[in-house]
Structure formats: C-alpha cells, structure tokens
Chains A and B, each alone.
Chain A
Amino acid sequence: MTLVTGTGAYTPKPGAAPLPRMIAAQAALETKMLLRNGEQLLLTVVIPTLLLVLFSSVDIVDTGAGRAVDFLTPGVLALAVMSTAFTGQAIATGFERRYGVLKRLAASPLPRWGLMTAKTVSVLVTEVLQIVLLTVIAFALGWSPQGNPFAVLLLLVLGTAAFSGLGLLMAGTLKAEATLAAANLVFLLLLVGGGVVVPLEKFPAGAQDVLGLLPISALSGGLRDVLQHGAGMPWGDLGILAVWAVAGLAAAGKFFRWE
C-alpha cells in the first residue's frame, strides 16, 4: 500500500512559500480582481473623478469662500479612501466569504493574518492609484494645496484603518447581498452627509455635531483643514478616526465569521 510505483511526477514535496512572497502574491491577486471589477471601478474611480470635475466646474453646491476645487479635492480624497477601504473591501470580502474563497485560502499555507495583511496592502495600492489620479486632475483644475504632507498621510492612514475595520465588520457578519446593499447605501449617505461635497455647515446645528463624529466627516474635515486652510495637526479629527479604527478593527476581529 505504501509502495511507490508511479513516475514520481506527483511525489509529495510539501512546503509553504516564504511569507513575504505569499503576502505579495495575495495582494497582487486581490488588486487585480478589484481593478478588473467594473462596479468596483465605478465606486473607486469614476464617481470620485466625476464629482471632482463636475462640482469644480459647475457651481451647483455653495462651497463657501475660496475656490471650489480647493474645497472639493480634500473631500473627494476622503471619498476615495472610503470607497476603497470601506465600500469596495466590504463588498469584495463579503462575496469572497460567500463563494468560499476565504474558506479555501484558510486551508492554504497563507495564514489568516497574512491574508488580512495582503488585503490591506491591496487597499493601500488602490488608494495610491486613486490619489495620484485625483491629484493630477485637481492640479489640472487649478488646485493649490497647503499644509503639512505628513499630517495628510496620517489622516489617510487612520482613515483607511477606520474604514477597513467597518468594512470587514460588515463583510464578516452580514450576508453577501446584504453587505452589497448596505455598503452602497452607507457610501451614498456618507457622501451626502459627510462633508465630502456638501459643507457640514449646510446642515442644522444639531445634526452638524453628530455628523462631525462620522469617520468620513473627520477625514474630509481634517484633510480640508490641512490642505485648504494650512492647519498643523488636526488632532480632533485624528482622534475621532483613531477611535473608529480601534473600535471597528476590534469588532471585526471579534465578530468576523470566515464562512
């Protein structure tokens, strides 16, 4: 029974690839899947770009004093982060869970934390592509950013962490279809009510206080303080994002179901 009589083509030679190679391969595949998906591109590229171009050139929303593009670009950058880290990641991960991709990968040599690291790398790569594209367009529209690039980077990283936690929480607990619907709905609501293209000052005072605590408002507000008004470290907004990040990632870690 243990006699080996074959040609040797399939002789066992098991082993995991080195971790960095596994994570890089996983991140590359995830990014490729995302860029290939039409609906994802609509959310992450088409909508932010359209909003930036449209609202900068046509005076639809009163964006307050100063040029529209200086107001809009920070908001649209925040929207780009949300679209990838939250909406896109939630929908993609929800369907990966539904179709057994997460289950199958859980039996591969790639550890779960490695899979999550790869997802984060994939989100960051996508964000870099989005930010490059949106920045180029904004400059073409006459954008003149201010402020400390390090503060911008910190806001983007904390925003990504906050939205990733919430996106994974949704993907790991709801059914894939529910995630699809809810993630799109949240995207739309936060687009309108999160200071992305509509200034929070347009809302009643009571609503402003609540809306200001949303991660999207903290991210768009923080980016605007720095990029439009040249503020230093927007500690308040960074604090709000940090709380969302810790709470969201902890809840996702606790409640995420792989199947």
Chain B
Amino acid sequence: MRSEPVVQVQALVKRYGAKTAVDGLDLVAQAGVTAVLGPNGAGKTTTVETCEGYRRPDSGTVRVLGLDPVRQSAALRPRIGVMLQSGGVYSGARADEMLRHVARLHAHPLDVDALIERLGLGSCGRTPYRRLSGGQQQRLAFAMAVVGRPELLFLDEPTAGLDPQARRTTWDLVRDLRADGVSVILTTHHMEEAEQLADDVAIIDAGRVIAQGSPEELCRGGAENTLRFTGRPGLDVGSLLKALPADCTAAELTPGAYRVVGKVDPQLLATVTSWCAQNGVMPDRISVERHTLEDVFLELTGKELRS
C-alpha cells in the first residue's frame, strides 16, 4: 500500500551566482527510508535544504508532507526533524542541555535520558559542545533531530566521520525509527549506508536525479552481473550458450575458468548448474558477482562516488 509521498520535488532549479547547484531535479520520496546518494557537489545538500525550507527554489516546486516548506514553514517545522551536516549547537552548551532545550520546543518530546543513553551521549558529561569529539557532535545532532517525535527526518550525512561502532548505533536507530513509522530522507556518499538502510535510493549527479529505485532494482536494472565457475578445461561453451538466455555471454577465460555475463538471478544459476549436471561437470568453485550501488554509480556517471 502506498500512501501520499512524503516529499515531492518537481523540476527544482537552484543557482548560486553563476553556479547551478540543482538543475531541474525531480524526486518523489514515499514513506520509509529514502537515500539521496551522490558525490560531493552533486546537489544533495541543496536539495535537502530546499525541502527543509532554508532555500527558496529559483524555479520548480517542492512539497514536504504536502506543504510548501517556505510559505507553510510554521506548519511544517514541528513535523520534521532536521540534522545539519555540522554545527547547530551553542559552543558553550553541554550535550544534554542542548538536547533538553530542543525537547522543550516540542509538545510531546521523547524521553531525553533514554535518547542520551541510546546514542551513547552520556559520556559527554559536562563537556561543552566545542570540545566534544566529532562523533559525539554528530550523534548529538542526530538526537536533536529525533527528540521532537517528527513524522519525517532529514539527515544530512548522518554517519560522516563516525567510527564503525557509532555508525552501527546510528543505523540501528534509523531502522527502529522506520519501524515505528518515521520517514527518513538521508543524504550519503556511503554506498553501504544506502544499501543497509534505504527502501529507495535516488542517485544524484550534477544537480539531477539520474536513477531511482530500491537498492536491488538499481543493482539489477541494466547493470550486467557476472557468474564464474571452474571445471575441467575445454568444456563446450557453445552448448552452454545455447542453454542460457539470449542476452548472456559465456567464455572460457583461462583453461578451466569460465565466466557467464548477463542478468544473474536464481534462474540463471539453476540453468548453469543443470547444464553442468547434464555434462558431468563438477564446478569446483562457483561464484556470483552482483553489482553494488558503487558499480551502478560508476556506470551511470563514469565517476567514483567518493571523489
């Protein structure tokens, strides 16, 4: 069942002086977790900040929870939680003090102590914000976005600079939020983050969405995957090809090492193994190389994501 989209962006254009940061971007995000993926400078933050009401579109329309983020800001702001990429806290404030303050701005905030414990912020103690570690600052910003019990969360690179354990803590909380019905828009240039968390991924490059779908769809769609197996040298590749779907290729790369390229799915794997069975071939090793979002991105843009 699909409900109303949480975010609808149509033909968004945003320029800074001569530089076009967002260039006719279309994005529809449904309930759930949507990852906005792209290299630095692709327009991720500008897009998200337009949704948050910080920037006025030069042209195009933006609707968040059905509202105009600039003109209906007063109605929208209590319903969203915002995590900026950095900062947002008084340099002399303590973590718990700032979190309690943001909680006081909301009608039904979460229990602050429980949130502090959940995100491991208890160790911040009386340290002022400016002397917290980058990871602690990051987790505090996340807590501040969550504490007001929003319907929709905007997380701008929520795990940038976190150690693996803190990253996992953040991911777990995003999953719990999602399970409780909170929608999340997160920007990231970590493929793994998008693959782990997102129901839907929008890949942005040069101010446009160039592909959108679930991580599985994106990794399957169009992208070629590879199946490798080893057997005795000199097998009849032509007979294998006949057994395979028409758009597949097969070759013996080195004696005894075979490669099938095509749409790799359970059916293809079954076809290859049954061909092996019919021909009395025992594949010593059989491996499937599925495309990651990283490969998809490279194919779509010709660029490394973390450039």
> A residues near B, CB below 8 A?
1-2, 4-18, 21-22, 25-26, 29, 32-33, 36-37, 95-96, 99-101, 103-104, 106-111, 259
Contacts and interface: CB of A to CB of B under 8 A. Distances in A.
B87 A99 contact: yes
Contact of B93 (A9, A16, A33, A110): A33
Contact of A95 (B31, B78, B91, B179): B91
Contact of B82 (A1, A36, A104): A104
Interface size class of B (residues with CB under 8 A): 35 or more
Interface stretch (B98-106, B161-169, B239-247, B288-296): B98-106
Given A14-B107, A16-B78, A107-B80, 14 more contacts: A4-B179, A5-B179, A6-B178, A12-B150, A12-B181, A14-B80, A17-B106, A21-B104, A29-B97, A29-B101, A99-B87, A100-B84, A103-B84, A107-B54
SS of A interface (majority): loop
B86 A13 contact: no
B106 A16 contact: yes
B88 A9 contact: no
Contacts of B146: 10
A161 B3 CA distance: 50
Contacts of B149: 10-14
Contacts, number: 139
A6 B89 contact: no
Contact of B88 (A12, A13, A36, A104): A104
A26 to B, nearest CB: 8
Interface in B120-175: 144, 146, 148-151
Contacts of B114: 9
Residue from B82, B106, B114 whose CB has the most chain A CB atoms within 10 Å: B106
B260 interface: no
Nearest to A10: B180
Contacts of A13: 107-108, 149
B19 interface: no
B74 interface: yes
Chain A CB count within 10 A is highest, among B90, B101, B151, B179, for: B90
B105 A17 contact: yes
B305 interface: no
A21 B104 CA distance: 8
B306 interface: no
A14 B1 contact: no
13 contacts: A6-B178, A12-B180, A13-B149, A16-B105, A17-B106, A26-B105, A101-B90, A103-B84, A104-B82, A108-B148, A109-B105, A110-B105, A111-B74
Contacts of A5: 179
A37 B82 contact: no
B105 A101 contact: no
What 5 A-B pairs are tightest by C-beta distance, nearest first?
A: A100-B87, A6-B179, A104-B88, A15-B107, A6-B180
Contacts of B150: 12, 14
A15 B110 CA distance: 12
Contacts of B82: 104, 107
B90 A96 contact: yes
A22 B101 CA distance: 9
Contacts of A7: 176, 179-180
A143 B189 CA distance: 67
Contact of A22 (B79, B88, B104): B104
A104 B180 CA distance: 25
Contacts of A99: 87-91
